Every structure is written in structure tokens, then in C-alpha cells.
Amino acid sequence: MKYRFHIFWVLLVLGFWFSGPVQAATAQSEWVKTDQTSVRLIAASSALGDSGELKLGLQFKLQPGWKIYWRSPGDAGFPPQLDWGGSKNLMSAELGWPAPERFSVLGLETLGYKKEVVLPITARTITPNQDTTLNLALKYLTCSDICIPYDTEISLSLPTGPQTPSRFAHLIDRYRAAVPGDGQRHGINIVSATARENDIWTGLRVNATSAMPFEAPDLFVEGVPGLAYGKPEVSLSADRKQAVIDVAVEGLAYVDDKLGKTLGGRDFTFTLSDGKRSAEQALKAGLIKADGAPPTNSDSAFSFATILGLALLGGLILNLMPCVLPVLSIKLIGAVGHGGGENRTVRMSFIASAAGILFSFMVLAGTLVALKASGGAIGWGIQFQQPWFLIAMTSVVILFACNLWGFFEVSLPRAIADLGEHSTRTHGLGGHFVSGAFATLLATPCSAPFLGTAVGFALARGAEEIFAVFAALGLGLALPYLIVALFPTLATRLPKPGIWMIRLRQILGFALLATAIWLLSVLYATTGLTNTAIQSAMMAAIILTLFIAHRLPAHKQKTTPVVTILILAAILLPATPQASNTTKNSAPTAGITWQAFDQEGIGRMVATGRTVLVDVTADWCITCQVNKSLVLGRDPVLSILTSGSVQPMQADWTQPDDGIASYLASFGRYGIPFNAVYGPAAPEGIPLPELLNEAAVLDAIERAGIKRSANAATD
């Protein structure tokens, strides 16, 4: 009995001993070894089953320092090549490629794998439940300091039987999960791709988003044979959930096909990797030309001298924009006040105003450089997102209006009165300087032709370029002042001041009051009704105090400055902004029902054949309101936007929003208004000019995939 007991255990141990190798042998091939590599075929199941589908893996183990290559190896190398021609009962075998590593050596960029990798394979048999033999002829290249090519043959037979998991199932599934998909599982979305081409830089710009912050994203590009793709330059938003990736492309001059020497319109496959997360997307690259979007951090369709010229012209045109009109009214009074005056006095006053403009532009440039260095969002006019700035500007406008009405010309100290350079007195150079600075600050919510191009160029570059471009902008805005300073007779030959001038000053004072009301409406969008009501009451108190004071005898006006200063101090109490509300502008406007901005949703709508018009706007952006009033809110554009064939989408930048700032930056824009049209023929978006016109909007909608005739029929 004891003997039989020992025999039983011996047989049991021997059974396990032999059964393990037999099962393993049916799920793996022999290792094929070299001095640098070991490679074999493995299977996720020990038998075929009856599904006709097999999960396999081509497993490589590499010695330290050696690598093999991805399907697109980069600047050198070639990927493993598989030939299944000698197999039995095999219909097809599809190879998967896990996201690779990047190897940068001596300026060469290669992509591949080190240490160990399993290339997952999905095989299908011709006849299920029939023995299958996989005979693989494999060619691969392994490299370290030198490269060695290998040719080998691997064989694996799988018997019929239940498809139970083998000990390799988990290993194969782990590497299969590393094969990039559409990115939804990992919360990554490759939104768009555009080609940027000029004499200095040719490449691709890819925009991507992530549900969770990016860590260290990398992008691998595949496309036209013969092109070489450089190492990506990645720019992340403040919350690291938006990525703008630039990839330099070389070799376009040697491509000879019907598309010509351009990247635009070509098909590319983009693989985005971020740690263990990845996504893959095939996109057609849209072409952004110099007149479609300003040059950005890597590309410039203009020389730097041309950019400075555009900045000068943009600043000059800015004098004609609605934002600057209140300041021009003050300057008009100042010019009239010089009627019959001395040339030297006129020259000095206008030079002082120009100096105030240039000084303010330098302050703006310095502020933006500091914000950019700290990682903050930057852009043209973003100070209007801050309640403190709005309150301070409203206070200054109210004081200017009261001075135009003559409320404190007599009673206030001369130093303050000098700030009102529109007074009949012309001795206050400080007042002229302040009016120039005031003109700059009120100009920033407006955008003018060429201004967006220049600002986009500057803000995408370093401090030197920012200061140079902003100096050119300031010079452009100050140019009319400098012309008068050069030819002072333009002011001295005007009619002398009289009763008519007093009436003109009163009218222009009410124009400034309208500006103050507009600023308070922007404050309402930022801080809410309660704070705005308090500020409005304080502003009214200032007007009332100065109005009453100027009607009192001089000896009773001594406390007026103190009362005014106390009210101003109360006005500048901290204002708490509301939580960002990006959906408030989604209400019907001029008959248009705007959908709240959803950058990822744009791609989904375009994929279903929809056309989308995106409008980035803000309550403080006067040019935005002009665009909506004169173009978007009028036929025929209005009919198209309300027909259902085009989805209007609005991004409200009244309050700071890193997502919108990143979206603008992806087009090289750092200010608003900004509009773009997306569609099946333009998934990357067609940017529109700052000042919209009917023809530009209709043409973009047509190019994106919706014909105007079809829209007209719908109407």
C-alpha cells in the first residue's frame, strides 16, 4: 500500500512535468538566437478553437544597447519584414505596432524598440478546426553602434481543440493594448493638421487635446515616401491639456507627383504618444498660407522687416477703429484749442502725446513678456478680462468727460487740471502724455488689418521681437500725432476757440460717457450684476460731486478733491469675477443660435459631414461686435447660419480661458476677433480675416464643403 502511494505521487509529478512543456510547445516556437537578439512566435491560446481567429505575438528580446525598428523607422533603418508564404491553413496575418520610442543620435531621428517588444499579430485560418502550421520567413535589422541585418525562419504548429488561454495570453494582450487606436480609450484626440510653408520653414502643425494633462507628448509622422520628419517642437497650454506640435519636413523639393511641391492636401498618419497613452489618426493636411494666418513660432511667411512694416501699418489703421474714437474726440478738442497758438507749443504737445503712446506700448510689451515667461496666457486686449483694469479705465473716462464738461477746470488743482489737455490751456505736457497712454489702452480691444499678423508673429517669439513689433505698432498709432508735430500749422491755422468749442466739448463729453457705459457692460459680464451696480453708483457719485462742486463758490470747493479721491478709492475695491461662463453667448444673437465652443466636438461634426463656423468673441471686443452686426447678422450669411446646413459655434473670451487661448495659438493668433470655418473639405479649419466681409465668409463655407447654391435652395 505504501509502495503504491509512492508510485502515485511519482506518476503525478511526472504528469505535471511533461504536461507543462507539451502545452508550452503548442503555444510557442523555438527561440532563434543571435549574439544581439532572440526572437520567437508565441500564441495566446494553446489550440485553434472554432473561431478561425488566432492571437499571436512576434517576441523580440534584445541585448543592452541594441534596437529594432518601428514600421516607419525614421532617418535610417528598416522595420521587420514578415513573409507567411510557407504556412498551412493560413488566410491572413495582420501585424500591430505598439507605439515606439524615439532615438536621437547625431541629428538623426529613428523610431523603434529596445530591450523587449512583442509585435501582436491577428491571424485568420482558411478552415477552422483544422491543424495549422505557421511558417514565418523574417527579415529584420538590429542596430547599436553598427547595424546587422538578419534573415531567419520560425515555425509554430497549433492543433485543433478548445481555445484555452496560454501562459503568453497576458503578455500578448499587454502589447496589443500599446498599439495606438483612435485615442478615446486614453482620452487623447488629434484634432487637426495644417501645412506651413515658406522660404524659411516647411512643416506640419498638429493640434491635440487630452482629457488629463499631457506629460511628455511625442509625435510620429508617416506620409509621402522620401520626406524626412524632424523632432517635434511641443507647446502646451497652461493646464497641459492642449498641445500644439510643430514638425519640420525636409525633402519636399524632391517629391514629383501631381500635388506639386506642397504639403497641403496630402494624406498623413499621425501617431501621438504620451507615456503609456497613445492615439493614431489619418488626416489630410490643410495649407495655411501667409494671407490666411499670421506666421507663428516656427514659421514666418514674411521677413522680420516686413513684419515691422505690417505692424506700423496696423497701428496707423488702428486710429480709425471704434475703440480709438473717444480718444480722437479729446485730441480734436486739443487741436482746436491750439488754433492761433504758437508752433513750438503745438509741436511739444503732440510729441508728448506720441511719447505717451510709445511708452504704453512698451509697458504692454513688457507685461506680455513677463506673462509669457511665467507660463500665463497672452494675447492682444486680454487686460479687458480683468475687473481692476475695467474699473480703472471707466474712472479715467468719467474724469475726462467731467473735464470736457468743465466740472473741475476751476476747482481742482492745476496738476490734475493739466491732465485735461483738451483744455484751452496748452501748458500741460503731462496731460498730453497721459492722453497718448489713454489712447493706447482704449485701442487694445480693437483689431485692425495687419495688426493680428504682426501681434501673432511677435507673441510667438522672444522678448526682443515682442518689443520691436510693439514699438512699430506704437509708432503707427502715434504717426498722426507726429505728423502734426512735424507740421504744427495743421493745428495753429484752425479757428480760434469760442462758444462753439464749449458746445463741442459738451457733446464729446457725452461720447466719453457712452464709452464708460460700454466699459461697465463689459464689467457686468466679468463680475456680475451686483458689483457692476455698485461701480455704476460710484461713477454717478463722482459725476454728481464734481457737478455740484463746480457750481459752488470757490471757498466751498476745498473739500471736492478729497471727496473725489475717497470715491475713487471706494471704486477700486476688489471686484470678484464670476465663474467662467462660456455658454452665455450661445443664446440666439441676430437670429443665430450659437452652440458653446467645443473643440473636440468640431471634429465629430465634421466627421458626419457638417460644416462649422467658429466665432471667438468677447464683450470687450468692439471689432467682434462690428463683424456680427455688419456680416454675420446680415443676409446672405445670416440665412446660411440659420438654415441648419452650417453649425454656428461661439467661444466667449470675455473672461480668461486657457482653452480658448490655446485654440487661438494653434492658428498663430493671440487676439480677437477670430473666425474659422471647418468642413469635410477643410477639417483643419479655414481662418478668416479679422475684419469680416461677406465674400470671405461665403467663400470659406463653400470651400469647406457646403455650396452656396445648396444653402440658397434650403432657404
Separation of alpha carbons 233 and 256, rounded Å: 28
Same domain membership, residue 324 and residue 220: no
Does 280 score more than 80 pLDDT? yes
Does 713 score more than 60 pLDDT? no
Does 336 score more than 80 pLDDT? no
Same domain membership, residue 48 and residue 24: yes
| Residue of 475, 521, 472, 514 whose CA lies nearest to 621 | 521
CATH number of the domain that 166 lies in? 2.60.40.1250
Same domain membership, residue 543 and residue 493: yes
Does 204 score more than 70 pLDDT? yes
- Identity of the highest mean pLDDT range in 9-18, 479-488, 642-651: 642-651
Q: What is the mean pLDDT of the chain?
A: 76
C-alpha cell at 180: 495606438
Does 179 score more than 60 pLDDT? yes
| Residue of 337, 646, 623, 359 whose CA lies nearest to 505 | 337
Radius of gyration for the alpha carbons in the chain, expressed in angstroms and rounded: 35
Which has the minimum average pLDDT: 109-123, 393-407, 476-490, 496-510?
A: 496-510
pLDDT score of 496: 61
> Percentage of the chain with pLDDT > 70?
71
Establish if 578 belongs to a structural domain.
no
CB contact at 8 A, 665 and 234: no
Among residues 177, 201, 234, the one where a domain terminates is: 177
Separation of alpha carbons 105 and 298, rounded Å: 23
Task: Quick: pLDDT tens for 598-621.
Answer: 888 888 888 888 899 999 988 777
Establish if 5 belongs to a structural domain.
no
Same domain membership, residue 563 and residue 630: no
Establish if 169 belongs to a structural domain.
yes
Helix, strand, coil percent content, the chain, rounded in steps of 5 = 40, 25, 35
Same domain membership, residue 509 and residue 445: yes
pLDDT score of 34: 93
Among residues 229, 253, 288, the one where a domain terminates is: 288
pLDDT score of 239: 78
How many structural domains is the chain composed of?
A: 4
Same domain membership, residue 171 and residue 188: no
Same domain membership, residue 158 and residue 224: no
Domain limits for position 101 = 13-177
Establish if 125 belongs to a structural domain.
yes
CATH number of the domain that 696 lies in? 3.40.30.10
Q: Count CA atoms within 13 Å of residue 203 on its CB side.
A: 20
**Which tops the pLDDT comparison, 486 or 460?**
486
Among residues 538, 571, 604, the one where a domain terminates is: 571
**Which tops the pLDDT comparison, 629 or 393?**
629
Establish if 552 belongs to a structural domain.
yes
Same domain membership, residue 390 and residue 523: yes
Same domain membership, residue 339 and residue 251: no
Question: At which residue does the C-alpha cell 457638417 appear?
Answer: 610
Same domain membership, residue 33 and residue 116: yes
Does 15 score more than 50 pLDDT? no
pLDDT score of 445: 58
Question: Letter for the amino acid at 69?
Answer: Y
* 460 phi-psi bin (left φ>0, alpha ψ -120 to 50, beta other): alpha
Same domain membership, residue 280 and residue 141: no
Establish if 2 belongs to a structural domain.
no
Establish if 299 belongs to a structural domain.
no
**Which tops the pLDDT comparison, 677 or 394?**
677
Establish if 6 belongs to a structural domain.
no
Dihedral sign computed on CA atoms, order 79, 191, 120, 134: negative
577 DSSP assignment:
P
C-alpha cell at 4: 503504491
Same domain membership, residue 530 and residue 442: yes
